[in-house]
Chains A and B, each alone.
Chain A
Amino acid sequence: MSADTALAAPRRHQSIDRRSFIGLLLVALPVFLVGWLIVFPIFSAVVGTIFVRGPDGATEFSLASYRFFFSDGYSLGNLWLTLWTTAVCGILLLAIGLPIALYLRFSQGRLAAYVQALAIFPMFVPSIILAYALIRTIGPNGTIDLLLNAAGLPKLRTPYLTPWGPVIGLVWDNLPLTVLMLTAGLSSVSNSAIEAARDVGAGPLRVFVSIILPRMGNSLLVTASFAVLGIFSAFTLPYVLGPASPEMMGPFMQRTFADMNDPLNAMTQAVITFALCLVFGIFYIRSIARNREARP
């Protein structure tokens, strides 16, 4: 061994150390922010709702706020409506998004580009603008009513101020992301696999069920988790388009916190909301992790 290589070895080692140090430094800020702005508030909210400060200033263990939430018909009604809205929106999003994504994956040309542009368009409309636009179109005496009337058809019962109002708004608002994520997921289905299946005489349905769907499981799960997490905590659309009562958890929490000046119950509602969202968060993280492992 010459003197040169003996000298070079520790130098290389040092530079790797420095690089990994900078790498750690780069991730330190986001990790710190997540810890400070997300993890710590979650723990403090959970602790704050369990260990309650009494009127005499002493802190004591109490589950009273949770007992209140789960025995209060009004709160449960709000939670139930939120779950219902989330489930209905999730199903509708997949039912509408999947055909669009399939079409975009397997067709080329100008029409497909227009469809894609149209599907992505809602992403650029802020939800408050969308809420007012929907009032004017699907609301009472709105555009749809006028068109029906002009065609001599009877009036439809408008979804405005009913639980279906926010559903329509939320589906429209979340559609672009759903379509984008499903299209990305579909790109993992190779053309040759489909052509091979067609060669042995598989029809479109057979191709979809046996070739496409098994390869889509992961992205369907990710898409559903994203949609659910967004819809569960939605605020603007349920607030403007939805009924006064029951209300979704977003407006309910805001009202309890600000109008009722009742941080304890608002925090309890937040912890319960978070616990439900956590389930979907875990689905998402597990599927991401599984994806990583599957990669060479």
Chain B
Amino acid sequence: MNRREFLITSSAAAGLLALPRFASAAAGTIDLYSGSDANIVDLWNNIIRPAFQKAHPEVALKVTDAGDNNGLRAIADRALAALKTKTDPQADLFEQFDPRLPAGGIDAGLWVKLSAENIEGYDHINPLAFDTSYSLPYRGSQVLLAYDTTKLDPKDAPKSWDQLTAWIKAHPGQFIYNRPDKGGSGSNFVRRAIHEVNGRDPKKFKVDNFTADYGAAALMPAWKILNDLAPSLYDKGAYTSGNTQSIQLLAQGVVTMVPVWSDQVLQAISQGVLPETTGLVQLGDLALCGGFSSITVFSNGANKDAALKLAAFMLTKDMQEAIITQIGGFPAISWDHISDDLRKKYADVIPSTIPTFPSGDWEKAINDGWYRNVAPGISRT
């Protein structure tokens, strides 16, 4: 073996040895995964990370975009497996996840139980926001209807589901929502239809009460309503492929009304993507779903203590106000703990109730059911 060959083989061997080191997380770096839209990932990278590292210079924070909720579920499954084999899950916390998944995770002790004892500021949290003691609400948002006030007078904006469907039918081609698996604004519009045919009672749907029979009985009537609406939608039943695309169609003046996330639409208006003449309305009989996004912390993460510090840091007044001012979200702590100026400015959008819909098996049933029963109703000429 000559010198050159020796160098090639030895450097390749050294490279192979170094591989696992690159793959595992560096010590003192919190691994956070987000399944949210780009505006939230930007908030974490541009606002929260610098502020947190200034307050806690001893730890670093790495934010990874996991794509969507399914991306997070895969990592959670991996972490549950890692818990059983007592290895490092290479993840410390999730931005926005339902700790009831993966099934059995809570019983196995996958998530840290959060309370005033391990989270500073826990008692400031808005009582509306609490879901389970394994998730820490840190921001809220809700799906609203955004409309063009130059085409629809705010006086005539629909205030109930019946008025909304009547308006959609009276103005064919002026409404569109996105595919339910591609973004919350469309999926919560679909969920509002499901609530409508089930007595407008969000309590009927729980993450663990899905059965095939109950699912069919609860969802079939909703598919009928949505099928009935389809010919009146934009292009006789076209559906955009995401939250952003719906906003884009509204911005181009193609449609008059779309369901939107409150935080995304406020941001779009403030950035000039949507004109100042954009109106916002919420249904009064039962609001479109929304909810508080919550942080979940892995009990077996390598940097659990640092992750808990970060979770508590999110409840500080500065970060909560950043959520209002930067992304137009709702704070998770009670409005009493927000400065007076902001409280007055946002008095109109402070919600008194936010209905929610569970994920898990319901999400699968709704997504597939929608594709099979509603989407093929397209009449293509």
Asked if residues A240 and B70 are in contact (CB atoms below 8 Å), the reply is no
Identify 9 residue pairs between A and B in the complex whose beta-carbon atoms are under 8 Å apart, listed by A's number: A135-B248, A140-B252, A243-B378, A244-B239, A244-B371, A244-B378, A245-B375, A245-B378, A258-B71
Interface residues of A in 137-165 (CB under 8 A from B): 139-142, 158, 161-163
Asked if residues A260 and B368 are in contact (CB atoms below 8 Å), the reply is yes
Asked if residues A261 and B364 are in contact (CB atoms below 8 Å), the reply is yes
What 4 new A-B contacts, CB under 8 Å, besides A140-B249, A141-B254?
A: A243-B380, A244-B179, A244-B241, A261-B364
Asked if residues A162 and B253 are in contact (CB atoms below 8 Å), the reply is no
B245 interface residue per 8 A CB criterion = yes
Interface residues of B in 226-250 (CB under 8 A from A): 234-235, 238-241, 245, 248-249
A-B contact count (CB 8 A): 61
Query: Using a Cβ–Cβ cut-off of 8 Å, how many residues does chain B contribute to the interface with A?
Result: 26
Given A239-B241, A244-B375: A139 and B252 within 8 A (CB)? yes
Residues of A within 8 A of B239 (CB): 161, 243-244
Given A74-B372, A258-B70: A162 and B252 within 8 A (CB)? no
Interface residues of A in 235-260 (CB under 8 A from B): 239-240, 243-246, 255, 258-260
| 4 cross-chain pairs, A with B, having the tightest CB-CB distances, nearest first | A245-B375, A161-B238, A140-B254, A244-B239
Q: B residues near A, CB below 8 A?
A: 68, 70-71, 179, 181, 234-235, 238-241, 245, 248-249, 252-254, 364, 367-368, 371-372, 375-376, 378, 380
Q: A residues near B, CB below 8 A?
A: 74, 77, 135, 139-142, 158, 161-163, 239-240, 243-246, 255, 258-261
Q: Which residue on B lies nearest to A252, using beta carbons?
A: B371
The one of A158, A161, A244, A260 that contacts B364, using a Cβ cutoff of 8 Å: A260
Q: Which residue on B lies nearest to A139, using beta carbons?
A: B252
Residues of B within 8 A of A161 (CB): 235, 238-240
Bound-complex Cα distance A161 to B235 (A): 9
Given A135-B245, A140-B252: A77 and B376 within 8 A (CB)? yes
Bound-complex Cα distance A139 to B179 (A): 18
Bound-complex Cα distance A243 to B252 (A): 19
Residues of B within 8 A of A139 (CB): 252, 254
The one of A135, A162, A240, A245 that contacts B235, using a Cβ cutoff of 8 Å: A162
Given A139-B252, A141-B252: A74 and B235 within 8 A (CB)? no
Asked if residues B364 and A162 are in contact (CB atoms below 8 Å), the reply is no
Asked if residues B376 and A245 are in contact (CB atoms below 8 Å), the reply is yes
The one of A140, A158, A246, A255 that contacts B181, using a Cβ cutoff of 8 Å: A255
Shortest CB distance B309–A (Å) = 32
Bound-complex Cα distance A268 to B215 (A): 26
Bound-complex Cα distance A162 to B236 (A): 11
Bound-complex Cα distance A239 to B68 (A): 15
Asked if residues A74 and B181 are in contact (CB atoms below 8 Å), the reply is no
Asked if residues A74 and B254 are in contact (CB atoms below 8 Å), the reply is no
Bound-complex Cα distance A14 to B238 (A): 70
Residues of A within 8 A of B245 (CB): 135, 240
Residues of A within 8 A of B376 (CB): 74, 77, 245-246
Asked if residues A240 and B241 are in contact (CB atoms below 8 Å), the reply is yes
Bound-complex Cα distance A74 to B235 (A): 21
Bound-complex Cα distance A180 to B265 (A): 44
Shortest CB distance B242–A (Å) = 8
Q: Which residue on B lies nearest to A257, using beta carbons?
A: B70
Q: Which residue on B lies nearest to A245, using beta carbons?
A: B375
Bound-complex Cα distance A258 to B238 (A): 23
